[in-house]
Every structure is written in C-alpha cells, then in structure tokens.
C-alpha cells in the first residue's frame, strides 16, 4: 500500500488535554504495524516541548512556572536533587509561546523518512475564573490560527498532513480519564515521545484547555485540504469502536469512506 508516497506523512491527533490523544496515537501505531505500514517509533508532542521549555526555565531561575512544593508567592525557584519536576504549572504565556514556536517549527523540519509521523497537539480555551491570574494563559486554537495568519508561526507543515483526528470529550469525561493517569517524577521527553508517559493534571490545569474551540481553526485546515475526522471520546467502548472505523479509513484502501459520517474537510 503506497500510503505516503505523496509526502502526506503526518497524522495529527488534537483536542483538549486529557481527551485521549496518546491513547489514540498508541492504538493507531498498533494498527499501522498490523497492516505493515511504516511509521516512526517516536510520537511528536507539544507537551514534549512544553516540558523542555520548563526545564530551560528552571535553568534560568524558574520565573515562568511553579511546582506544588514551591512557596506560595515566591518569585522563581531552584531544584534540589529530591524535588520532583512533576507536576508543574505555567504562570504566564512565556512557556506556552516558546512551546508553540518549537513545536510547529519541528513539524516543518521533520525528516522525510518514508514513514508516518504521529503528532499530538493539545489546545483549547482557558476557562479558569477571570480573577485567577492563570486565566490569561492561552493555549487556544484561535491563538494558533491568529499566529498562522500573522506568519509568526510556520505553516508549511500543513502540506504534509495526511489527516487530523479531532478528539472531543466532555469535561467530566476528561476528569475521569485524567484520574487514570500517572507520570514518574523523573520522566524525560523520550517517555513522552514513546507514548509511555502522560501528564497528570489538576482541575485548574485541565481548565487551561477548558473549552474546545477547534471550530476557530477548522476553516484554515480545510482550506489547506486537510481531511478531518471528529472522534468523540465517551470514556467507554463506543470510543474504541469509532476509533477502529477511523483506523480502517486511514489504513485500508477499501474502507476510505468513514461510515458514521463524522469525517470533515475532505
């Protein structure tokens, strides 16, 4: 099967945090292997670049994020050997902005290896109360669309996207899914790349991506000719049934049609 001969070698899983992106990418990688479709072992994730931005901030005095063990109101921090990296919380837009630049630049620079790349991208509108200083932190799709329009983010990666799978999940489902997660304090980016580590988040961090505004960027993606699959994650068996349909549509030539009518943008 000549799946990627036309250089459409990137499948992007996107949605709010804790909506099932890593579960989906791991499932699709398993299915790709089953159908002998070559794919890269590493997942490209925006959380990987947020983690790296946090580590760089630690080296510079930790002015743009905090940890549970930091003193309330402290300006900056430094780590002792026994103080964990996780969990951490960004305190302004410095690290998200740095993450976006590194992440989308990386997508433009991915090697053309003749294999599929699986990519995870989290976005959504901050729904923390306005009186909370954290309410200013912006991970929204609207922000990315605006930056693409202003050409402050590269857009050549769009030409390589084979499909975008948009994961949709209600907030209560995301809360339940998040509680199933765990991540070691000594996790490193390679664990995120392999799909073996997950962000364990409190409700405040989940609300950084509290409202899915994918519709704000959907027209930009459609204009680039990117097929979009909407996949609802109910936290149960129906999610996996629908995920199987998506996998068949992506990997089996005889099943390119998406039976339950949720494909958009083709």
Give the domains, in start order, of the chain with CATH numbers.
10-47+92-264 (3.40.50.300)
Q: Which of 110, 143, 140, 98 is nearest to 122 (CA)?
A: 140
**Cβ contact 121:157 at 8 Å:** no
Please tell me the pTM assigned to this model: 0.88
Residue appearing with tokens 């690290």: 95
- Mean residue pLDDT across the chain: 87
Of residues 64 and 138, the one with the higher pLDDT is: 138
Percentage of the chain beyond pLDDT 70 is 85
Q: What is the pLDDT of residues 120-144, one digit of tens each?
A: 999 999 999 999 989 999 999 999 9
- In sequence order, the β-bridge partners of residue 90 are 65
**Structure-derived torsion over alpha carbons of residues 19, 22, 27, 31, reported in degrees to the nearest 10:** 130
- In sequence order, the β-bridge partners of residue 125 are 211
Q: What is the C-alpha separation between 86 and 46, in angstroms, rounded? A: 16
The predicted model gives 143-156 an average pLDDT of: 97
Instruction: Give pLDDT, residue 250.
Output: 93
Q: Cα-flanking dihedrals φ and ψ of residue 245, to 5°?
A: -65, -40
Q: What is the pLDDT of residues 163-194, one digit of tens each?
A: 999 999 999 999 998 887 655 444 555 555 55
Instruction: Give pLDDT, residue 125.
Output: 98
Instruction: Give pLDDT, residue 70.
Output: 83
> Considering only 17-26, 55-64, 145-154, 193-202, which range has the smallest mean pLDDT?
193-202
Percentage of the chain beyond pLDDT 90 is 68
The predicted model gives 18-40 an average pLDDT of: 94
Structure tokens at 74: 């402290």
Helix (H) or strand (E) holding 59: helix 46-59
Instruction: Give pLDDT, residue 27.
Output: 96
Q: Say if residue 153's pLDDT is above 90.
A: yes
Instruction: Give pLDDT, residue 226.
Output: 95
Q: What is the pLDDT of residues 212-245, one digit of tens each?
A: 999 999 999 999 999 999 999 999 999 999 999 9
**Cβ contact 35:250 at 8 Å:** no
Q: What is the pLDDT of residues 74-83, one digit of tens each?
A: 778 888 767 7
Q: What is the C-alpha separation between 33 and 241, in angstroms, rounded? A: 19
> Considering only 5-14, 20-29, 44-53, 209-218, which range has the smallest mean pLDDT?
5-14
């Amino acid at each position: 099967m000549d799946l990627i001969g036309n250089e459409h070698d990137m499948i992007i899983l996107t949605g709010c945090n804790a909506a099932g992106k890593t579960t989906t990418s791991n499932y699709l990688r398993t299915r790709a292997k089953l159908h002998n479709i070559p794919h890269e072992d590493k997942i490209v994730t925006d959380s990987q670049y947020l983690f790296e931005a946090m580590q760089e901030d630690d080296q510079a005095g930790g002015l743009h994020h905090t940890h549970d063990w930091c003193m309330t109101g402290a300006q900056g921090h430094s780590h002792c050997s026994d103080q964990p990296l996780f969990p951490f919380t960004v305190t302004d837009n410095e690290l998200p902005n740095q993450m976006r630049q590194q992440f989308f630049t990386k997508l433009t620079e991915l090697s053309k290896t003749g294999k599929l790349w699986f990519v995870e991208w989290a976005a959504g509108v901050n729904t923390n109360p306005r009186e909370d200083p954290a309410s200013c932190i912006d991970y929204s799709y609207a922000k990315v669309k605006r930056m693409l329009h202003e050409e402050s983010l590269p857009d050549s990666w769009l030409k390589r996207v084979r499909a975008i799978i948009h994961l949709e999940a209600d907030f209560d489902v995301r809360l339940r899914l998040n509680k199933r997660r765990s991540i070691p304090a000594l996790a490193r980016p390679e664990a995120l790349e392999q799909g073996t580590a997950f962000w364990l988040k409190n409700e405040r961090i989940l609300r950084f991506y509290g409202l899915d505004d994918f519709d704000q960027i959907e027209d930009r993606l459609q204009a680039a000719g990117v097929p979009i699959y909407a996949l609802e994650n109910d936290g149960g068996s129906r999610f996996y049934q629908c995920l199987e349909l998506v996998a068949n549509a992506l990997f089996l030539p005889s099943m390119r049609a998406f039976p339950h009518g949720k494909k958009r943008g083709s």
